[in-house]
Amino acid sequence: MSRTSVKRALAIVAAAAFACLPLFPALITLTPTRVPGVSMIPLAAAPAILAVVGVLAVIAGSLLMFSERVEQPMLPVLTIWLAAALLSALLGFAPLYGLLFLAIFLLGILWHVGINASYGDSGAPAIIFGALLGAATLAFIVAIAAVLLHRPAAIYAAQHGRAVGSFILPGELAGYVLVIVPIALAVASLARQPWLRALAACAALSGVLALALSFSRTGWVAAGCAGIAYLVIVVRDRRKQIQIGVTIAAVTALAVALAFNVHHDPSENFTRLSIWKTALGMVRRFPLTGTGPFSFSLLYAHLRLPDGDAVAYHAHDIYLTLLAETGIVGLLAMLAAWLRFGREWARRFAVADARARILSGAIVAGLIGTLVQGLIDTSTLVLFGLWLPTMALALASARYGLGESA
């Protein structure tokens, strides 16, 4: 195969992985954690989903052996993060589930590397964004329709009428929206291909509606922060930054205030305090390498406080969850990865052209939204399915924009 063919094949594999993203939440059934809700996807499908993603990873790994060498600035720090998770898994309370964490994390690294290696092909961006936005549009429409039709009834009842679709929890749907909508808005304004512009517009509109119907307060706040971040990154007019930023903050605050307990169990406002205290108790007991990946729910049952929920699947804070499960070593590895990403992205963004700045800035704004959401919630979809590949998209788009043929 020629180098061009290899790049195109890698782009197709990356696109296929993005198309599978709405199915990723079903993988929680492979961990010791009970499903925190009702899954629209049959539970028996989880091994098949993992197998499909595994096949894509094998194909990507094989193609990378023959691909042109490109800069992979994140690979060293991601490898360190993987090693930290391995150490935690080996010393933790659930080594087998830790290995599952490592396998999924390794797939994410291959995904990241594959995007970087293929994005330089002129047709790759259209392939990747087409699959990403097409799958997202379908996922959003399904989530919206399920709420409007009150079907499946079990999901509608379990989530108090909040949009969730295939994501099991409304917070996971919100995290997905946070990444997709900024990308969709940027692609809709930049793409030269009518079909891609139309698809991006559909993804943006359906994503905003899905986020609204999720009634995710944290998602709304994070979306507002993502919008303000985009203004700071891309808009150079300070007056516009202030005016639009104040408007976004005001609308976000009003929406949260008016709908604070709508479609929520009010007791949820207090149970997280107890869960956070229990998570800190885990950190005090196992500060260095944590309790092991995917082990939070196992330890919580033994360490929970008298006023805490009987079951907790994570610490309702992605950073506290990582600290509890992978210790100081794992958290520092994660922070090092984000610091490396920030420095490399800033370097590329500084010399990017205007169109590339719009797209890459939008992607980073969405990532910032997920970082804000992570302060109050934990989403494995964000950690495994969005952070690593989206980092690659941000870096590659800062250099190539939407590609020559897009």
Q: What is the pLDDT of residues 175-186, one digit of tens each?
A: 999 999 999 999
Cβ(262)–Cβ(303) under 8 Å?
A: no
Cβ(170)–Cβ(162) under 8 Å?
A: yes
% of the chain surpassing 90 pLDDT: 67
Cβ(282)–Cβ(299) under 8 Å?
A: yes
Question: Averaged over 298-305, what is the pLDDT?
Answer: 88
Cβ(323)–Cβ(283) under 8 Å?
A: yes
- Hey, what are 243's tokens? 């005016």
What phi, psi does 400 have (nearest 5°)?
-115, -5
Tell me what the pLDDT averaged over the chain comes to.
91
- Hey, what are 57's tokens? 């990873």
C-beta neighbour count of 84 within 10 angstroms: 23
Return d(Cα 46, Cα 27) in angstroms, integer: 5
Question: Averaged over 342-359, what is the pLDDT?
Answer: 96
Beta strands in 44-191 (DSSP E): none
H-only helix segments in 150-267: 153-158, 170-190, 194-214, 217-234, 238-258
Q: Which amino acid is at 387?
A: W
- Model confidence band, residue 42 (pLDDT cutoffs 50, 70, 90): confident
Q: What is the pLDDT of residues 221-271, one digit of tens each?
A: 999 999 999 999 998 888 888 999 999 999 999 998 888 777 776 766 677
C-beta neighbour count of 28 within 10 angstroms: 22
C-beta neighbour count of 299 within 10 angstroms: 24
DSSP string, 25-54: GGGGGGSSSPPSS--SS-GGGHHHHHHHHH
Q: How far is CA 198 from the centre of its chain?
A: 24
Cis ω for the linkage preceding 25 (within 30 of 0): no
Whose structure tokens read 């500060």?
A: 287
Return d(Cα 89, Cα 103) in angstroms, integer: 12
For the CA atoms of 83, 89, 95, 96, the dihedral, rounded to the nearest 10 degrees, stands at -50
406 pLDDT higher than 50: no
Q: What is the pLDDT of residues 14-41, one digit of tens each?
A: 999 999 999 988 887 776 666 667 888 8
Question: Averaged over 163-168, what is the pLDDT?
Answer: 92
Q: Which amino acid is at 46?
A: A
- Model confidence band, residue 328 (pLDDT cutoffs 50, 70, 90): very high
Candidates 176, 180, 68; CA nearest to 124 is 68
The pLDDT score that the predictor gives to residue 382 is 87
Q: What is the pLDDT of residues 52-89, one digit of tens each?
A: 988 999 999 999 998 888 999 999 999 999 999 999 99
Whose structure tokens read 């809709």?
A: 188
Q: How far is CA 292 from the centre of its chain?
A: 21
Cis ω for the linkage preceding 152 (within 30 of 0): yes
- Model confidence band, residue 389 (pLDDT cutoffs 50, 70, 90): very high
| Alpha-carbon distance values, 214 to 31, 63, 177 (Å) | 25, 39, 10
% of the chain surpassing 70 pLDDT: 96
The pLDDT score that the predictor gives to residue 10 is 95
182's CB contacts (< 8 A; 6+ apart) are: 226, 230, 362, 363, 365, 366, 369
For the CA atoms of 366, 368, 370, 373, the dihedral, rounded to the nearest 10 degrees, stands at -130
Q: Is pLDDT larger for residue 324 or for residue 27?
A: 324
Candidates 250, 272, 2, 276; CA nearest to 121 is 2
Question: Averaged over 120-140, what is the pLDDT?
Answer: 96
- Model confidence band, residue 310 (pLDDT cutoffs 50, 70, 90): confident
405 pLDDT higher than 50: no
275 pLDDT higher than 50: yes
Cβ(394)–Cβ(367) under 8 Å?
A: yes
- Hey, what are 203's tokens? 């993804």
- Rg over alpha carbons for the chain, rounded to the nearest Å, is 20
Report DSSP state, residue 192: S
Q: Is pLDDT larger for residue 406 or for residue 190?
A: 190
Q: Which amino acid is at 249?
A: A
- Model confidence band, residue 147 (pLDDT cutoffs 50, 70, 90): very high
C-beta neighbour count of 52 within 10 angstroms: 15
Question: Averaged over 96-111, what is the pLDDT?
Answer: 90
63: region left, alpha or beta (phi > 0 left; psi from -120 to 50 alpha): alpha
